[in-house]
Structure 1
Amino acid sequence: MNVLTFPSNEELNEAAAGLLTATLHQKANAVLGLATGSTPIGVYEKLVEFYKKGRVSFQSATTFNLDEYVGLPRDHAESYYTFMNTRLFQHIDLPEANAHIPDGHADDPQQECERYDRMIGQAGGIDVQILGIGHNGHIGFNEPGDTLQSATHLIELHEETRKANARFFASIDEVPTKAITVGLGTIMKSKSILLLARGSDKAEIMRRALRGPIDPQCPASFLQLHPQLIVMTDSEAGRLL
């Protein structure tokens, strides 16, 4: 585990985008695992800046997003499909066919989960997986529980997660109750993992995830077992590490 703490968000964004840029320089057809939420936005903005300056190309890359809400149309303002297109994809040269996001509107969610796992496997697995962390320790939408699922699966979102995401909707009643998420086993098969965290409200869960016992009640704690885990935090999120 390599823990890097940055005094400013700008420096964190620069470092994370730099790592992904270096990955694409070394392997132009790298497979990137992408996350949504507020944490990676600054990194995506920096990647767009790097692309516009000619520092990186995504022409040969492939991306797989971690998750998607179930029941939201793709063109819904808060779907992760819309998030990724407006924040990153429409600003870079990644071919549309190479950008993959679970279909939360699929007629058969279970078949969609199986299809998504097959696609990741056929692509050779994830080279670098970006992760944020929820206040309850979830990664992707892998929520705390007595057991965790390895493969991509349909998940019932915890109330705490829905409340945290309610700020993006008119009310919590509009936040979907289910999502499709890449499973912990698939995440852990990534060749390297980049865990990002910002803000003092993430300090305690980061301590629990990275310094506490490995426990399915804190899914992120399993990241301690990954041989190529890179952690990037601001000074507040990393203060207990």
Structure 2
Amino acid sequence: MLDFQVYPTYGLLSRAAADVVVSTLEAKPEAVICLPSGSTPLGMFRELVLRHEQGLVNFTRCTFVGLDEWIGMGPEEEGSCRQVMDQDLLHPIGFRAEQILFFNAKADDLPADCERINQALQQLGGLDLIVLGIGMNGHLALNEPGTPFDTYAHISELEPITKEVGQKYFKTPTILTGGVTIGLRHMREARQLVLLASGEAKAPAIARALRGEVTESFPASLVQEHPDALVLLDSEAASDLLQPGLS
């Protein structure tokens, strides 16, 4: 059974997640780290920015890898993964451009851009740390149900629920045609994988990911087979796991 850690509040969960990032950089200042955009990691980002301002963590030698992006969007589009990441983490911490490896989701040749990411990660020696959220349908990044576990960076056809949930990042209704994403094989090969979840709405997905069948139809289930996976939850996200009699 996969171990997981449960915190009574989102704030404590966020601090624990930041602790992992800081510990990774203390052990290996030139680490290659991949962090998600979105609402779940916001508290972790605030904590990392605070520690940076206090001189408690050094980001100057690491490489940051972007997790995913909506097709056709770049850092200038409000609500894009890059814009959110720039706003919440990269700009406040002062990441230099040469430290950042991110998809160009506006590229004319998206398969070639995915291959650029694949080759760059190979040259960097792979991911030292990847931090992930979990989708309601079990997706990791934009790897939707049915994505092969051995897939590297690729173009993703989005499920309706992903398009619907994705609207929360935009001020007006936005057509999301697809995505580009780090692959499930990158996640499986990462030296450490951290999965974050907060809120009662994520409880069913977390229970299935940690206790259900390991299957490509529910990508998050791969955490069960990762040799160094850490699952950090608040009490609401863990509520289905903590029911009496659940094994």
Residue aligning to 1:208: 208
**Is 1:133–1:197's contact at 8 Å kept on the other side of the alignment?**
yes
Residue aligning to 2:129: 128
Residue aligning to 1:167: 168
- The one-letter amino acid of 1:180's match is V
Q: How does 1:62-77 map to 2 (within 5 A)?
A: 62-77=63-78
Residue aligning to 1:224: 224
CA shift in 2, pair 1:84/1:148, >3 Å: same
Residue aligning to 1:60: 61
- The one-letter amino acid of 2:226's match is H
**Is 1:57–1:93's contact at 8 Å kept on the other side of the alignment?**
no
- The one-letter amino acid of 2:186's match is T
> 1:81 Cα shift?
1.3
Relative to structure 2, which stretch is displaced further, 72-81 or 97-106? Answer: 72-81
CA shift in 2, pair 1:94/1:232, >3 Å: same
CA shift in 2, pair 1:171/1:24, >3 Å: same
Residue aligning to 1:5: 6
Q: Deviations over 1:15-53 (max 9, x none)?
A: 110111111111111110111111111101100000000
Q: Report SS of the residue matched to 1:130.
A: strand
- The one-letter amino acid of 1:229's match is A
Q: Report SS of the residue matched to 2:203.
A: helix
> 1:69 Cα shift?
0.8
> 1:74 Cα shift?
2.6
Q: Report SS of the residue matched to 2:17.
A: helix
CA shift in 2, pair 1:57/1:147, >3 Å: closer
Asked if residue 30 in structure 1 is aligned to residue 31 in structure 2, the reply is yes
Q: How does 1:95-134 map to 2 (within 5 A)?
A: 95-134=96-135
> 1:147 Cα shift?
4.1
List 4+ stretches of structure 1 deviating above 3 A.
146-149
**Is 1:169–1:175's contact at 8 Å kept on the other side of the alignment?**
no
> 1:239 Cα shift?
1.6
CA shift in 2, pair 1:89/1:147, >3 Å: closer
- The one-letter amino acid of 2:178's match is K
Asked if residue 199 in structure 1 is aligned to residue 186 in structure 2, the reply is no
> 1:93 Cα shift?
3.7
Q: How many residues align?
A: 240
RMSD: 1.3
Residue aligning to 1:177: 177
TM-score normalised by L of structure 2: 0.94
Relative to structure 2, which stretch is displaced further, 18-27 or 161-170? Answer: 161-170
State the alpha-carbon separation in 2 of the partners of residues 209 and 78 from structure 1.
28
TM-score normalised by L of structure 1: 0.96
Residue aligning to 1:151: 152
State the alpha-carbon separation in 1 of the partners of residues 87 and 24 from structure 2.
23
> 1:94 Cα shift?
2.6
Unaligned ranges ≥5, structure 2:
242-247
> 1:168 Cα shift?
2.1
Residue aligning to 2:82: 81
Q: Report SS of the residue matched to 2:227.
A: coil
State the alpha-carbon separation in 1 of the partners of residues 169 and 95 from structure 2.
26
> 1:159 Cα shift?
0.5
State the alpha-carbon separation in 2 of the partners of residues 141 and 11 from structure 1.
27
